[in-house]
Amino acid sequence: MNPKDQLEIFKRDTIDLIAEEDLLRKLKKGKPLRIKYGADPSAPDLHLGHTVPLRKLKALQELGHTIIFLIGDFTARIGDPSFRSETRKVLSEAEVKKNSETYQKQVFRILDKAKNVEVVYNSTWLNQLKPSQFLELTGKYTVARILERDDFKKRYEQKQPITILEFLYPLLQGYDSVALQSDVELGGTDQKFNLLVGRELQRDYGQEPQVVMTMPIIEGLDGKQKMSKSLGNHIALQDAPDQMFGKVMSISDQLIVRYLRYLTSVKEGELAQIEQDLKNAAVNPRDVKARLAKTIVSSYYDDVAAQKSSEQFDRVFKKKELPDEIPNRAIPKSKLENGEIAITSLLVEAGLASSKGEARRLVEQGGVKVDQKKIEAANAFISLKQPVIVQCGKRKFARVQSSSER
């Protein structure tokens, strides 16, 4: 494919491209580009939010370019401060190793393992930095530049603590680009600052600066914040088909077109028609969501699993008259004991009762169900090893699951 046609594929659905003329110049050289994408294993599962850049990488892989999937096992010990209002908990080496174990398996559900792809760990070179090299790296950027970031600026103005370790994160991520001699780095819009640091560091180290590409951030099941395991609003690639289908069906109608655009391969013309039909109430949003859910499950499992998930959803929701849109609630694992929580605490944490006293009364009055089974005892414990649907009375529902506090 000629460089200009390739450029159009690079630009499709991209938010930032810095700089387009640099990318075109690289493409005109006629050599496969080294395209870097990094993910810190701060949690064991990848989710659909990660698939937005991964799907773009798949398209670029098919053009013949080399995809470098970087597992940030070193930087995960710090934690990316991007868009954080507080300092992250520092992960242990054992936690990072455990979280890294499933990453490759999940990534290759999208990327072609047999075609021009490299999987690398940034501990390989960052652990080898000598003190003199590390000091040289820290001298490449000023505190004033780091404080230009909105998240750091807000925390500084609000007198929230910022560790020196967090200041180092963008430099270390940027140094990854130097070590890999990447031509292009891809990330979400929340990564723009970090990606630009890599571009500048490459110039400082005498390399041709990488092109920076940012992709949209997908909102999670709450429809407000970005999809994140730590916020409990995610759809994991490891979710069972029924779970995946049910979670997609729980999104708000306002997210349907956005999910179709960035999480499926629906054509632009068809997407525009769906958007218009939804706006004019010419179609039932539930039917479009069902199609979306089946498409996503098929992508990560198969058509048979998608059809079974659809039938199971209809059995549970249509016949038992549960609403399609059920709010998602996440309960920190620290509040669980062996993966379980008292029903009274569960109702309070899920926002279905204002106090444990009220929760107790609701149970005693026979008004509480978990996965459509009535809870008979106010001292019952509920397992959250899998998400559950909690119902209070006829109109109050919540899909509840446990979540990390990171």
Q: Residues within the annotated binding site for ATP?
A: 229
How many whole angstroms separate alpha carbon 203 and alpha carbon 174? Answer: 11
Q: How many CB atoms lie within 10 A of CB 4?
A: 10
Which residues participate in the annotated binding site?
A: 229
Q: Are 362 and 353 in contact (CB under 8 A)?
A: yes
Name 311's Cβ contacts closer than 8 Å, sequence gap at least 6. Answer: none
Distance of CA 178 to the CA centre of its chain: 26
Q: Which of 19, 10, 33 is nearest to 212 (CA)?
A: 19
| Whole-number Å distance between alpha carbons of 292 and 301 | 14
152, two tokens: 């750091």
Task: For residues 95 and 73, give the distance between their C-alpha atoms in angstroms, rounded to a whole number.
Answer: 10
DSSP strand E in 274-333: where? 328-332
Please give the Cα distance from 288 to 134 (Å, whole number): 53
